[in-house]
């Protein structure tokens, strides 16, 4: 009985060995699909939800949407984002207004959780697919997202509705009818 079990286990072992060698030989003769990274850098397609680098989009006039509210800084779980603001006098109203001075982002400690992008009420920051971040010192991983000389995107001018003279006269007449007279 022991001899039959011993011979059976040897046959099963040889069969499993042959199965493994068959799979290895199949992979040996198949064409290779290795991607050569530096050579095909522009050909690679990334997933839509891939997060690699936080950026602050600017338009052609170097304007951005950030109002320096600091919500992205407060929602970051490990303090990756620092928003530095300063008070300037508004040219329209003459009142002091908080303006973005520097928006710093520490790429080396970012966990790419996307909480900052989701919490931004103005959509001022977003993640891109640029993933090559190799540097020699950690200090170079601290990036300033707002460009030098950039400013808050101006609000679009309100478009005045066309004036209807008859409607204006009717409204004025209605006001005179509804106002009580004092004696």
3-state secondary structure of 82: strand
Of 94, 76, 72, 92, nearest in space to 84 by CA: 72
* Residue at 130 is within a domain: yes
Q: What is the pLDDT of residue 166?
A: 61
pLDDT of residue 113 exceeding 50, the answer is yes
Tell me, yes or no, whether 17 and 105 share the same domain: no
pLDDT at 179: 47
For residue 159, give Cα distances in angstroms to 63, 73, 79, 170. 22, 35, 42, 23
Under 8 Å between Cβ of 70 and 116 = no
pLDDT tens digits, one per residue of 69-87: 999 999 999 999 999 999 9
Q: Is residue 12 part of a domain?
A: yes
Whichever domain contains 78, its CATH number is 3.30.70.3270
pLDDT of residue 183: 43
pLDDT greater at residue 65 or residue 152: 65
Same domain, 79 and 141: yes
Are 105 and 18 in a shared domain?
A: no
> What is the pTM (predicted TM-score) of this model?
0.61
Look at residues 65, 66, 59 and name the one whose alpha carbon lies nearest to residue 82.
66
Which domain range does residue 102 map to? 53-152
Q: Is the pLDDT assigned to residue 37 strictly greater than 60?
A: yes
Q: What per-residue confidence (pLDDT) applies to 173?
A: 55
Examine residue 163 and state whether it is found in any structural domain, yes or no: no
Are residues 24 and 114 located together in one domain of the fold? no
Residue 140 inside a domain? The answer is: yes
Residue at 164 is within a domain: no
Q: How far apart are CA 132 and CA 30, in angstroms?
A: 31
Residues 88 and 137 in one domain: yes
**Cα dihedral 116/143/46/79 (nearest 10):** -30
Residues 2 and 82 placed together within one structural domain of the fold: no
Say if 47 falls within a structural domain: no
- 144 and 63 in one domain? yes
CA 57 from chain centre, in angstroms, equals 10
Judge contact between 125 and 117, C-beta under 8 A. yes
Report the pLDDT value the prediction gives residue 106, as an integer from 0 to 100: 94
101 in a structural domain: yes
Give how far Cα 22 sits from Cα of 10, 11, 18, 97, 163, Å: 18, 16, 6, 73, 85
Q: Are residues 69 and 142 part of one domain?
A: yes
Out of 47-51, 58-62, 135-139, 177-181, least confident range: 177-181
Q: In sequence order, what E strands does 22-118 have? A: 53-55, 63-64, 81-89, 96-106
Spatial separation of the C-alpha atoms in residues 155 and 100, rounded to whole Å: 16
Mark whether 25 and 57 lie in a shared domain. no
Does 151 or 111 have the greater pLDDT score? Answer: 111
Dihedral angle at the C-alpha atoms of 127, 68, 139, 136, nearest 10 degrees? 20
Predicted confidence (pLDDT) at residue 177 exceeds the cutoff of 50: no
Instruction: Give pLDDT, residue 81.
Output: 95
Question: Residue 171's pLDDT is what?
Answer: 55
Asked if residue 58 and residue 23 are part of one domain, the reply reads no
Q: How many structural domains are present in the chain? A: 2
Residue 180 reports pLDDT greater than 80: no
63, 136: one domain: yes
Q: Is residue 46 part of a domain?
A: no
* pLDDT tens digits for range 120-171: 999 999 999 888 888 999 999 999 998 887 888 777 665 555 555 565 566 5
The mean pLDDT value of the chain amounts to: 83
3-state secondary structure 126-137: EEECCCCCCCCC
- For residues 67 and 108, membership in a common domain is answered with yes
């Amino acid at each position: 009985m022991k001899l039959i079990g011993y011979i059976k286990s040897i046959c099963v072992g040889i069969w499993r060995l042959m199965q493994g060698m068959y799979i290895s030989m199949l992979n040996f003769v198949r064409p290779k699909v290795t991607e050569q990274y530096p050579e095909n850098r522009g050909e690679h397609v990334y997933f839509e939800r891939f997060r690699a680098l936080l950026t602050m989009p600017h338009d052609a006039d170097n304007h951005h949407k950030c109002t320096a509210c600091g919500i992205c800084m407060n929602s970051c779980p490990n303090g990756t984002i620092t928003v530095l603001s300063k008070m300037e006098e508004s040219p329209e109203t003459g009142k002091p207004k908080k303006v973005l001075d520097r928006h710093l982002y520490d790429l080396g400690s970012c966990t790419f959780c996307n909480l900052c992008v989701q919490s931004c009420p103005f959509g001022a920051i977003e993640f891109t697919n640029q993933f090559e971040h190799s540097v020699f010192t950690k200090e170079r991983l601290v990036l300033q997202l707002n460009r030098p000389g950039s400013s808050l995107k101006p609000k679009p001018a309100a478009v005045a509705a066309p004036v209807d003279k008859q409607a204006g006269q009717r409204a004025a007449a209605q006001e005179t009818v509804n106002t009580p007279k004092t004696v």
